[in-house]
Amino acid sequence: GNSVTQMEGPVTLSEEAFLTINCTYTATGYPSLFWYVQYPGEGLQLLLKATKADDKGSNKGFEATYRKETTSFHLEKGSVQVSDSAVYFCALPLYSGYSTLTFGKGTMLLVSP
Amino acid sequence: DVKVTQSSRYLVKRTGEKVFLECVQDMDHENMFWYRQDPGLGLRLIYFSYDVKMKEKGDIPEGYSVSREKKERFSLILESASTNQTSMYLCASQAPSYEQYFGPGTRLTVT
């Protein structure tokens, strides 16, 4: 099935720094790609998605571009805030046409004032 | 907005008890999922359901069962709780376009 690999954390940044969290995938075809965020003690929330190659998903200042050439979907934000401290998960469908998602292990982001 | 609710945020049970975790979604989604989340192990799929009364095992079904009698409700059952089932349990509902929507989670402690 499809799979995803995320960079290990934690990623530690100061407020207003630039953020990149790497995600690469292995997939048959061109499935939709997702980023989820999990705040402490909460469930996962959908942060953004891209449904085809070269699509850019964006939300709350976060962006990710679906790059089929490099099979990547890196998450970026120009200026992080303390409130962005959370765990971020990259995900995609396990199989083409099969609906279960497979998730990366998650990357913890810690932002200090 | 999609709303997925779980019956409890925190639950403490004793070893050997039967435990019910309930999940309800309000978007008429056909697909629903139960995961458990443990430090260092990420999200692991326990069971999922594609329709009423239909269920499929995920990666770690042992010690669990599920029930889906109505489309909006998906229950996870621990037949005889054990300490190694202490975990965070997450329910999700899935849209036809694949994105999953999660409930707030139930942190279960088995003593």
Please indicate whether, in this complex, the C-beta atoms of B42 and A44 are within 8 angstroms of each other: no
Query: d(Cα B26, Cα A4) in Å, to the nearest integer?
Result: 30
Q: Which residues of B touch A34 (CB under 8 A)?
A: 98-99
Residue of B42, B94, B101 lying closest to A99 (CB–CB) = B94
The answer to whether residue A8 scores a pLDDT higher than 90 is no
E runs forming strands in chain A: 3-6, 11-14, 19-21, 23-26, 33-38, 44-50, 56-59, 62-65, 75-77, 86-95, 98-103, 107-112
Inter-chain residue contact B98 with A32, CB threshold 8 Å = yes
Q: How close B105 gets to chain A, by Cα (Å)?
A: 5
Tell me the nearest-neighbour CA distance from B90 into chain A, angstroms.
7
- Nearest CB to B104; choose among A31, A43, A106: A43
- Are A32 and B103 within 8 A, CB to CB? no
Asked whether the beta carbons of residue B98 and residue A44 sit closer than 8 angstroms, the reply is no
How far apart CA B19 and CA B76 sit, in angstroms, is 8
CA distance A47 to A38: 9
> CA-to-CA distance for B64 and B58, rounded, in angstroms?
11
In which band, very low, low, confident or very high, does the pLDDT at A16 lie, cut at 50, 70 and 90? very high
Chain A residue with minimum CA distance to B6: A43
- Which helix or strand (DSSP H or E) is residue B50 part of? strand B42-51
What residues of chain A lie within 8 A of the CB of B92, using their CB?
Answer: 44
pLDDT score of B1: 72
C-beta of residue B70 within 8 angstroms of C-beta of residue B51: no
CB contact under 8 A, B105 and A42: yes
pLDDT (tens digit, 9 = 90+) per residue, A60-79? 999 999 999 999 999 999 99
B110, B81 contact by CB (below 8 A): yes
Backbone angles phi, psi at B16, to 5 degrees: 95, -15
Would the pLDDT of A98 be above 70? no
Q: Is the predicted pLDDT of residue A96 greater than 90, yes or no?
A: no
Name the range with the highest mean pLDDT among A38-42, B21-25, B92-96.
Answer: B21-25
For an interface test with B, the pick among A35, A42, A92 (most B C-beta atoms closer than 10 Å) comes out as A42
Mean per-residue pLDDT, B87-97: 94
